[in-house]
Chains A and B, each alone.
Chain A
Amino acid sequence: MKNKGLTKVDLIFESTDVRKVMKKAFEMTSNEIIEQILESGLKGRGGAGFPTGLKWKYTAAEKEPEKYIVCNADEGEPGTFKDREILDKAAAKVYAGMAIAGKAMGARKGFIYLRGEYRFLLPQLYVELHKFHKLINEIGYDFSIEYRMGSGAYICGEESALFESIEGFRGEPRNKPPYPTVSGLFSKPTSINNVETLVTAMMIIEKGAGEYVKLGTKDSRGSKVFSISGDTPIPGIFELELGMTVQEFVNEFGDGDTKAVQVGGASGFCVPRKKFSETIIGFEGVPTGGSMKLFNSSRSMYNVLHNYLEFFTEESCGQCTPCRVGCQQLYKGIEMVKKGESKSTYLNELVKLADTMKVASKCGLGQSVGNAFRSIVENFREEIIY
């Protein structure tokens, strides 16, 4: 497959007449909005990549009169900070995206669940929200948004844990099905979308799906905001067209000595140098919610994996055994191999455990631990052992 190369774009942060876009959307039928989003091929920008149009379509299909649109601003994946920037610089577009989503599925109420670490943003976000409510009132449309805060729990970024938290409970993920589109917040049909997804959806309504599909590849349409950190001379937030290889990414952002890139945060995949040119960043290769961490040859991948496993051990909600005990055992396991208390072949047992967690864990947290574990252990086995 021919790849697209690296192209910087500016769609998410460019200034937009949100009044005009909302008016346009409110004159469309629910079906017309959903058709546009489906045609655009937009997939969720939080990392899981579920088609946004389908989520809206399923929620719209529910007969229940009370429905909700929830904006997931609990960005907790290590290495991800783009949603903070979007809310900081373009909150009006997030609110407009929620109103448009609400129109598409018949929801009059929206909630934004903002992580506690970003509480300092609240005063300015309320100023923008006040302007938004005034604007939507002038347009003569019935829709309102409320903020709910997180309190430092990574797991609350998982959609059903987030609902539990808003409802006033421990943030423990629910069993699925039922899916949120059927029974979500307060057991009502709910569409829960990432901050960036909502802004992108708004932009698709503004420019038309036809324009949007010109960007990206068949499996990964459009552009994406990347959070770039680690061993790079230019850390920060960059919007890039999807479809580039890791090599092209490293050529632009690396420090000349990049040995690995962790794509998608602690729950994502580690790509070693030898696979840079064959790996595409996107749903056809390594999917990402935007977290890109570069490591140069001075870094120990044991330390990287150890740090991730400590993170998961602390952030596992503890509800299901495969995740709770699995994280602890992986964490202790690599320490034992490093200290020579276990043979290096014990790593094979640990990889099996990570695979078991993938199938047996209740939610995305436990299911994803194996991504980083397997890709780091397989590609940097000698660094884990010696």
Chain B
Amino acid sequence: MYHTGNMVKELAEKHGRKRESLMPILQEIITKHNYLTDDAMVAVATELDISAAEVYGTASFYTFLDTKERGRNVIRVCKTITCSMKGKNDIISTLEDILKIKVGETTPDKMFTLLETNCIGWCHKAPAMLINDMPYTDLTPETVIDVVKGYMR
């Protein structure tokens, strides 16, 4: 869990306090912390003068606006058809082995969350995944280990 502190107030100063400011504010919290706490959502509601249910209702619609606790690095492996055909399952099992978690889980040290996601637009270089915002493509069980190790340091 992170402390909301002044963050939401500062983001409201930056993006404004209109309804259309909601997505940019939530997205920037995600960029910083990878998920939205109840505290953060209530603070956004207060700043924008809308109900907290509106904030949660909007956030929960979007896959990337997670409202469950996530690790510092969120791994999203593409599971749509081409990646699936080109060895997505091997990538997932390699990741599960080295991180010692299952899809949907977060490592105890809160460093990694492993998720599956729908098409991320790299079908010509399948299998592919995102770590936070960065895409990694043409993955093999060998290269995916190197990629993840780069985030362990």
Q: Do A and B bind each other?
A: yes
* Min CB gap B110→A, angstroms: 21
B143 CB–A CB distance under 8 Å:
no
A315 CB–B CB distance under 8 Å:
yes
Residue in B117, B118, B134, B135 with the greatest tally of chain A CB atoms within 10 Å:
B118
Instruction: Give the interface size class of chain A.
Output: 35 or more
Query: Across the two chains, which residue of chain A brings its CB closest to B60?
Result: A170
By the criterion CB–CB under 8 Å, are A81 and B122 in contact? yes
> Which of chain A's residues 232-270 have a Cβ closer than 8 Å to chain B?
235-237, 266
Contact of B61 among A118, A167, A170, A231 (CB under 8 A): A170
Query: Known contacts A151-B64, A152-B64: does B58 contact A168 (CB below 8 Å)?
Result: yes
A333 CB–B CB distance under 8 Å:
no
> Which of chain B's residues 1-57 have a Cβ closer than 8 Å to chain A?
18-24, 26-27, 30, 57
* Min CB gap A123→B, angstroms: 10
Chain A residues lying within 8 Å of B121, measured Cβ to Cβ, are: 75-76, 80-81, 84, 115, 117-118
Number of interface residues of B (CB under 8 A): 37
By the criterion CB–CB under 8 Å, are A314 and B61 in contact? no
Chain A residues lying within 8 Å of B125, measured Cβ to Cβ, are: 235
User: CA separation between A124 and B26, bound complex, in Å?
Assistant: 22
By the criterion CB–CB under 8 Å, are B124 and A227 in contact? yes
What is the count of residue pairs linking A and B with beta-carbon distances less than 8 angstroms?
A: 117
Residue in B58, B61, B79, B84 with the greatest tally of chain A CB atoms within 10 Å:
B61
Contact of A170 among B20, B24, B58, B81 (CB under 8 A): B58
B85 CB–A CB distance under 8 Å:
yes
24 A–B contacts from the bound complex (CB under 8 Å): A78-B119, A79-B119, A79-B123, A80-B121, A81-B121, A117-B121, A120-B133, A120-B134, A152-B65, A154-B119, A166-B23, A168-B22, A169-B58, A170-B61, A227-B123, A227-B124, A229-B126, A230-B81, A230-B82, A235-B124, A235-B125, A266-B81, A299-B85, A308-B81
Task: With A78-B81, A151-B64, A170-B61 given, name 14 new contacts (CB 8 A).
Answer: A76-B118, A76-B119, A78-B118, A78-B123, A79-B81, A79-B123, A117-B120, A120-B133, A150-B62, A153-B61, A168-B21, A169-B58, A171-B61, A230-B85
